[in-house]
């Protein structure tokens, strides 16, 4: 029989040793480099100052603990990696200088590599791919309002350059094949 443990009482989830990815901690520690996760003492100072703590499923100190345990699926499926506002309060307050914000950037990238990007992020990618703008501002009504207010026209973007960046960074796989060509 496999040993089991609870990661967080509120979640009431039971994990077994089979749930642990033994290479996950090592891989994250290598990516974080000198900003080692291993120095985290689970004091909770990072979580106490978190501005979005009431909206996330894993508090910052619990996220670090989960990473150290190798709970890769739990971490990469957590809403905390996407809801975090990256205000850096946790990183600034950490007595052991764990760079939680940097860790989240790594976790976001890993989640995207697994195709786990929130729909809102994918929609921004679609917009950028097709128009070169994260939030397209177009149409005659927008142009008329801008003119009436004395605001200059929206500068045109080179959507082809944006598509090239999307291709070079490798994030284009999140787009459907018919979206990859874009529109100019």
Taking residue 65's Cβ as centre, other Cβ atoms within 10 Å add up to: 17
What is the CATH code of the structural domain delimited by 4-113? Answer: 1.10.1060.10
Q: What SS3 class is residue 59?
A: coil
Contact status, residue 45 vs residue 59, Cβ threshold 8 Å: no
Phi, psi torsion values for 159, nearest 5 degrees: -60, -30
CA atoms within 13 A on the CB side of 23: 0
User: What predicted TM-score, i.e. pTM, was given to this entire model?
Assistant: 0.74
Give span(s): CATH 1.10.1060.10, the chain: 4-113
**Separation CA 48–CA 36 (nearest Å):** 21
**Separation CA 60–CA 55 (nearest Å):** 12
Provide the pLDDT for residue 110. Answer: 93
**Separation CA 66–CA 73 (nearest Å):** 10
**Separation CA 146–CA 94 (nearest Å):** 46
Cβ-in-10-Å burial (0-12, 13-18, 19+) of 122 comes to: middle
Provide the pLDDT for residue 7. Answer: 47
Provide the pLDDT for residue 137. Answer: 74
**Separation CA 159–CA 128 (nearest Å):** 7
Going residue by residue through the chain, which has 184 residues, state the pLDDT in tens, using 9 for 90 and above: 444 444 444 455 777 888 889 899 889 988 887 667 888 999 999 999 899 988 999 999 999 999 999 999 999 999 999 999 889 999 999 999 998 989 999 999 999 888 888 998 899 999 999 888 888 776 788 888 989 999 988 777 888 999 999 989 888 888 877 676 655 4
Question: C-alpha 50: how far from its chain's center?
Answer: 16
Contacts of 109 (CB under 8 A, 6+ apart): none
Taking residue 91's Cβ as centre, other Cβ atoms within 10 Å add up to: 19
Q: End-to-end alpha-carbon separation of the chain, Å?
A: 60
Contact status, residue 91 vs residue 100, Cβ threshold 8 Å: yes
């Amino acid at each position: 029989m496999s040993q089991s443990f609870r990661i967080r009482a509120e979640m009431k989830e039971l994990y077994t040793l089979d749930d642990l990815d033994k290479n996950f901690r090592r891989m994250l520690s290598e990516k974080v480099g000198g900003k080692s996760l291993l120095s985290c003492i689970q004091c909770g100072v990072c979580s106490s100052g978190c501005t979005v703590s009431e909206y996330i499923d894993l508090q910052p100190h619990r996220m670090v603990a989960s990473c150290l345990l190798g709970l890769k699926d739990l971490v990469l499926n957590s809403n905390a990696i996407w809801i975090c506002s990256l205000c850096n309060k946790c990183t600034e307050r950490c007595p052991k200088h764990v760079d939680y914000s940097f860790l989240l950037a790594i976790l976001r990238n890993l989640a995207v590599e697994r195709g786990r990007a929130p729909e809102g992020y994918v929609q921004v990618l679609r917009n950028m791919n097709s128009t070169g703008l994260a939030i397209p501002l177009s149409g005659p009504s927008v142009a008329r309002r801008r003119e009436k207010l004395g605001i200059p026209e929206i500068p045109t973007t080179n959507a082809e350059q944006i598509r090239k960046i999307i291709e070079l960074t490798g994030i284009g796989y999140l787009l459907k094949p018919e979206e990859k060509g874009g529109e100019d």
